[in-house]
Chain A
Amino acid sequence: MEGQHKHPIWAKLVGYAAFCVVILILPLFITDDYLLNKLARYLVFGLVAMALSISWGYAGILNLGQAVSFGLGSYCMAMALKLRTIPIQTGAEGLPDFMVWNNVKSLPWFWEPFHSYGFAIAAGVLVPTILALLIGTFVFRARVTGVYVSIITLALLVVINLVVIDRQRLTGGFNGLTDLAPLELFGLTFDPYAHATYYLIAVSLGAALFLGLAVVHSKTGLIMQAIRDDENRVRYFGYDVAAYQTFALCLSAAVAGFAGMLYTLVMAFASPTFLAVPVSLSIVIWSAVGGRASLLGSAMGAIIVTGVQGSLSDTPAFLETWTLIMGALFIIVVLFLPRGLISLVDRIPLGGSARRRAAAATGAASRSGINAG
């Protein structure tokens, strides 16, 4: 029921394409680099909310640890950039500054490969994916479902967050990784206020949306939705439910990890707050407000919520009240619009439904005709 597509696929494609065009031409109207940086941040949030939608909206896995993937991706990128900061801020032989302060003598082994951009970018996607693979196999093979999956992912998030903060010598601890060099790739410099960074993020979001759409409309995607609606029935049909659930979790983690890397680029630092409980819950909120069972809806939910929040942040008193309103709004959405704001769009009549209505009318007419005859 929840996954029913009222609109034909072409209407969906048009909607997705229109969204991509809007985010791509937006910089033409914005001269303020600061504003562009803010927008880029909102788009990153859109990307990570869309990632959650894959596992939550389509496969029914409420992953409360989405921030783990996001944060790990962010750290992978930050580690590579940290190793490239200008020598003044680093210690002897390119040792990061916080390690020097913490009396670390040589670069830890797992930092070593991050001298290569290629490795760092691959790691930003693969580390969260592999972790999701392990968690997914561990959890879903035992047929643990529903609330318990949420609690397990939440607990793991807390564990990883605690360890990252505690191992200050290796991770920068509470301060995270700061003083990063800008990413330089293909002759472009991706510093937080550059147009290149914005376009990189906008293109990534667009590509991820279409890729996600392709996946959820594939056979695999349909089975994922079937599992969400009735897990046992799918199992009786002979499908390997755990494999599909693990796949959804991994795909979601990969996209979230990628979003995390982009987030490091816009923020120019990585912090343990990126992989903390509040971020994870915010992602859930964005997706729920926008529409958990819609990739575009989730992305737009994130952009709208963080956008309003961001535009109010200049007036602190207003922001405080906004948080209050936000909480109330969220409860109202959960109570009365369980499919999110995007479900309002579904109510707009389109050609397809008009035709269906016409067909129904003819059907009724022919029936009455039979009765008359």
Chain B
Amino acid sequence: MTDIFNQVFSGLSIASILLLISLGLAIIYGTVGVINLAHGEFVMLGAYAVWFLEDHFGLGLFPCIVLAFFAVGTLGWVVERLIIRRLYGRVLDTILATWGLGVILQQAIRLSAGAELRYVQMPPGLSAAVHFAGVDVSAYRLFVLALTAILLAVTYVLIFRTRFGMRLRGVVQNPEIARCFGVNTSQIYAMTFAYGAGLAGIAGALVSPLKSVSPDMGTGYVVDAFMVVVVGGVQSLLGTVASAGIIGELSGGLAYLSNDTIAKAIVFLGVVVLIRFRPQGLFALRVRRG
């Protein structure tokens, strides 16, 4: 029993990190329609922001998370203004341009902060294990799980309960009609991109104490996050949550049965088959074509 619970928790832990990373990507892809291959680098920048602030100013993790959100979010806004807005309607070209952006960001960090691995301290209050339902679980991972839930709730409220969210949904449904009603679509796109980037920054900040921080840490994340978004279905917040849960638990379970590599290979194969039969994802109700 404890074995199963342990397994479920480790799957949940993988899922929460996956969800954190893919949430920003899902919002950007779902609303702006841009495949942001630099998303992994946004995550990486969030992690470096924490390392830098901790190392140079002695800040703790919590203020760093907030600062990482605004720093990476601002960068996202600038990127949207300079590059992305010129590429609306050219989806495949956004893949290329954002990949180039990723190369630049990665290299800029390598040149400024160095290529060596960096380590971030876990907050002292959360480094212990918590005894929970008969098993020991890492307090930090519980914290990540809780914060993911909070961010999800905030995002939900933002999209479904605010004026901004209403405009955003309008733009997604029909940009032209939204414009007719006086919605500044270009501003909505920029803010959405910035918010998605900011979420990536938070994700980076949160994973930094768990993994070593390096310039190329983002590359792996972006592929994983994509699989989550595609499986969940574009434009479906709930779908992204469910798919992160499914992929996380599946990876955890398969890794327990074989090893991490084979687990990942099997999950990806599953995703390929799924896209073949349901390109719109598992949870999308309606697909817009063209």
Contact = CB atoms under 8 A, between A and B. Distances in A.
Interface of A: 62, 138-139, 142, 144, 146-148, 150-152, 154-156, 158-159, 162-163, 165-166, 277-278, 281, 284-285, 288, 320-321, 323-324, 326-328, 330-331, 334-335, 338
B6 interface: no
Contacts of B262: 162-163, 166
B111 interface: yes
A8 to B, nearest CB: 29
A147 B95 CA distance: 9
A216 B264 CA distance: 38
A159 B103 CA distance: 23
A246 to B, nearest CB: 14
A112 B262 CA distance: 26
Contact of A328 (B90, B91, B100, B261): B100
Contacts of B271: 155
A150 B275 contact: no
Contacts of B96: 284-285, 288, 330, 334
Contacts of B87: 334-335
Interface of B: 35, 83, 86-87, 90-93, 95-97, 99-104, 107-108, 110-111, 219, 223, 226-227, 230, 259, 261-262, 264-265, 268-269, 271-272, 275-277, 279
B103 A323 contact: yes
A255 B102 CA distance: 29
Contact of A152 (B219, B264, B275): B275
B276 A138 contact: yes
B277 A331 contact: no
Contact of A331 (B35, B83, B265, B275): B83
Given A146-B92, A158-B223, A152 B276 contact: yes
Contact of B92 (A147, A154, A278): A147
A166 B268 CA distance: 15
Contacts of B259: 166
Contact of B100 (A144, A147, A163, A327): A327
A331 B230 CA distance: 25
Nearest to A138: B276
A29 to B, nearest CB: 33
Given A151-B226, A155-B269, A285-B96, 20 more contacts: A142-B277, A147-B95, A150-B95, A151-B230, A154-B226, A155-B227, A156-B268, A156-B272, A163-B262, A166-B261, A166-B265, A320-B107, A323-B107, A324-B111, A327-B104, A330-B96, A330-B99, A334-B93, A335-B83, A335-B87
Contacts of B269: 155-156, 159
Interface of chain B: mostly helix, strand, loop or mixed: helix
Contact of B97 (A163, A320, A331): A331
Nearest to A143: B279
Contacts of A331: 83, 97, 100-101, 104
Closest 3 CB pairs of A and B: A327-B103, A327-B104, A330-B100
A288 B90 CA distance: 14
Contacts of B275: 144, 148, 151-152
A163 B265 contact: yes
A288 B103 CA distance: 15
Contacts of A277: 219, 223
A152 B262 CA distance: 18
B101 to A, nearest CB: 6
Contacts of A162: 261-262, 264-265, 268
Contacts of A138: 276
A334 B96 CA distance: 7
Nearest to A156: B272
9 contacts: A152-B272, A155-B272, A158-B223, A162-B264, A163-B262, A284-B96, A327-B102, A328-B104, A338-B90
A158 B267 CA distance: 11
A146 B91 contact: yes
Contacts of B261: 162-163, 165-166
B268 A159 contact: yes
A189 to B, nearest CB: 38
Given A155-B268, A166-B259, A327-B100, A320 B110 contact: yes
A155 B271 CA distance: 8
Contacts of A139: 276
B103 A147 contact: no
A154 B111 contact: no
- Name, among B83, B97, B219, the residue most crowded by chain A CB atoms within 10 Å (CB to CB): B97
A277 B97 CA distance: 16
A338 B93 CA distance: 8
B35 A324 contact: no
Nearest to A144: B279
A166 B264 CA distance: 11
Contacts of B111: 320-321, 324
Contacts of A166: 259, 261-262, 265
